[in-house]
Amino acid sequence: MPDVNIKIGRLSDFYDLLMKEEPELPIVTGDMPDTWIHGYMSMPRETKLSKHLQRETYHTEILNSQLKLWGLSNHTIGSYIDEAVENMILYDEHTFGAAMTHADQHKWTYNDEFKINKSLGNYDFIEGTWIEKANRIRTAEKIIVPLMKNQLKKLASSVNVEGKRIVVYNPLPWSRSGRVNFFAGVYQKRFKIYGLKNAVTGKVIPVYEDYNLVSFDADSVPSLGYNTYIPVLEPMNNRTSLTIDEYDNLLENKYFRLQIDTLNGTLSSVFDKRKNSELADQDSEEGFGQYVLERPGQEKIDAYNEAYIKPGAEHWANEEMIRPGVHHKESMVYKGKCMKIVYLDMGNAVRASVFGKLDDPDSQHFIITYTLYENQPYIEIVWGVDGKIPHPLPEAGWLTFPFNVDKPEYRLYRTG
């Protein structure tokens, strides 16, 4: 069909066209949940990797096509992509291994009995089926990650610049700027990078360097293109808006001023300099960035099952959905407390890492890191848990962000 004009559109484009016709359409105001979606976030690491690889696979194909067009490679990667995509699809298939009730299994056990059974290997088979599922996305990772790294090395080594260089590639269909963090591939590194000079514009930008770890703000990397930077190996004077005040526990850049509560490690103040306004609700019972862990009591479990499970399915679904028979009626809620704060001035960023501890029976430890970058108008918050143990009872952990708003509105963009 040589004369057909094809336009790639979004779902919202179809919506806009339909609405012009003023159709009489039924409006569904309730939720229509898929009751078989419980598996994915029981593997949060693998699911995160899956979402990353879905994008990275396209980027790998794009760069391979460009390298061939530029005459830098005659290597076709179709067979590798096919194998990786097959494993990604098999990971995304909804069944996540065996369930406790699917034969060849032990029974539900709790507390000390659960610990004994786990130590004796009585759950090895069921856990093995989950590992089989997780290995699908790990197999895809083993294909895509080294493939992309090799192609990036080919690109960087082919750029017409003498000596050491850092090349930042942008696979997106638009120009973008952003923070770059990566490890330079230098064996027994004996030099320090103080800055980077754009090979085209000559602009010099500051760098944070910790041995092979290099972190900087890349500016205006062209669509489906790259910027090349030449390392500056001599000390340079940098003007900065960044400050750390360890006495008053303050972090600041030209966009925000953060104050850390030394009791629970949360942000007691998140001040937006551009809007001259406080973003954190300082009257909230929970702190901004506070780690909270809840273990629901029997009353909440019963209410959940009654509302969620279809009538007639209680004989099997009560156990499979959210475990019966906890020893407490009321939910137990535990909140994080600060043990110490470690500050770091990175030159082009400032960082505070809060070492914290929950007041739960397992004494779970965690780290929350707050980072302000010189030229990035956002606050980066990274949360890591140390000492999370397998637990047969339902629980939920999250970070709280009580914003200083009276009438919040929530908008969901396209999924993915």
220-269: pLDDT as tens digits: 999 999 999 999 999 998 889 999 999 999 999 999 999 999 999 999 99
Tell me which residue of 172, 173, 179, 175 sits closest to 218, measured CA to CA.
179
**194 with 207: CB under 8 angstroms?**
yes
- The rounded distance, in Å, linking the Cα atoms of 220 and 353 is 30
Residue 47's SS3 state is helix
- The rounded distance, in Å, linking the Cα atoms of 329 and 356 is 28
Looking at residue 416, its pLDDT comes to: 45
Looking at residue 251, its pLDDT comes to: 98
- The rounded distance, in Å, linking the Cα atoms of 37 and 41 is 9
Looking at residue 9, its pLDDT comes to: 86
- The rounded distance, in Å, linking the Cα atoms of 353 and 342 is 5
- Core vs surface per residue 269-282: b (16+ CB within 10 A) or e: bbbeeeeeeebbbe
- Give the residues across from 181 on adjacent strands: 215
Looking at residue 109, its pLDDT comes to: 84
- The rounded distance, in Å, linking the Cα atoms of 332 and 395 is 9
What is the reported pTM?
Answer: 0.84
Give the strand order in the sheet containing 250-252.
243-245, 250-252, 256-260, 267-272, 277-278
Tokens of 363: 């004494």
- How many CA atoms lie within 13 Å of 276's alpha carbon, on the beta-carbon side? 0
Phi then psi for residue 170, to 5 deg, are -120, 105
**105 with 71: CB under 8 angstroms?**
no
Looking at residue 241, its pLDDT comes to: 92
Tell me which residue of 50, 48, 114, 112 sits closest to 87, measured CA to CA.
50
Tell me which residue of 212, 210, 202 sits closest to 232, measured CA to CA.
202
- The rounded distance, in Å, linking the Cα atoms of 280 and 59 is 38
Helix axes 78-92, 44-69, angle to 10 degrees: 160
Phi then psi for residue 288, to 5 deg, are -80, 105
- Core vs surface per residue 118-144: b (16+ CB within 10 A) or e: beeeebeebeebbeebbbbbebbbebb
Instruction: Walk along the chain (416 residues) and give the pLDDT tens digit of each residue.
Output: 889 998 888 889 988 999 999 999 888 777 665 555 566 677 888 999 999 999 999 999 999 999 999 999 999 999 999 999 999 999 988 777 888 877 788 888 888 898 999 999 999 999 999 999 999 999 999 999 999 999 999 999 999 999 999 999 999 999 999 999 989 888 999 999 999 999 999 999 999 999 999 999 999 999 999 999 999 999 998 889 999 999 999 999 999 999 999 999 999 999 999 999 999 999 999 999 999 999 999 898 888 888 888 888 888 887 777 666 777 789 999 999 999 999 999 999 999 999 999 988 888 999 999 999 999 999 999 999 887 888 777 888 999 999 999 998 887 766 54
- The rounded distance, in Å, linking the Cα atoms of 379 and 330 is 36
- Give the residues across from 334 on adjacent strands: 293
**355 with 338: CB under 8 angstroms?**
yes
Looking at residue 39, its pLDDT comes to: 66
The one-letter amino acid at 355: F
The one-letter amino acid at 278: E
Tell me which residue of 331, 179, 164, 353 sits closest to 251, measured CA to CA.
353
Looking at residue 274, its pLDDT comes to: 96
**230 with 161: CB under 8 angstroms?**
yes
Tell me which residue of 307, 301, 300 sits closest to 33, measured CA to CA.
307
Write the DSSP symbol of residue 295: E
Looking at residue 361, its pLDDT comes to: 83
Looking at residue 318, its pLDDT comes to: 77
Phi then psi for residue 76, to 5 deg, are -100, 130
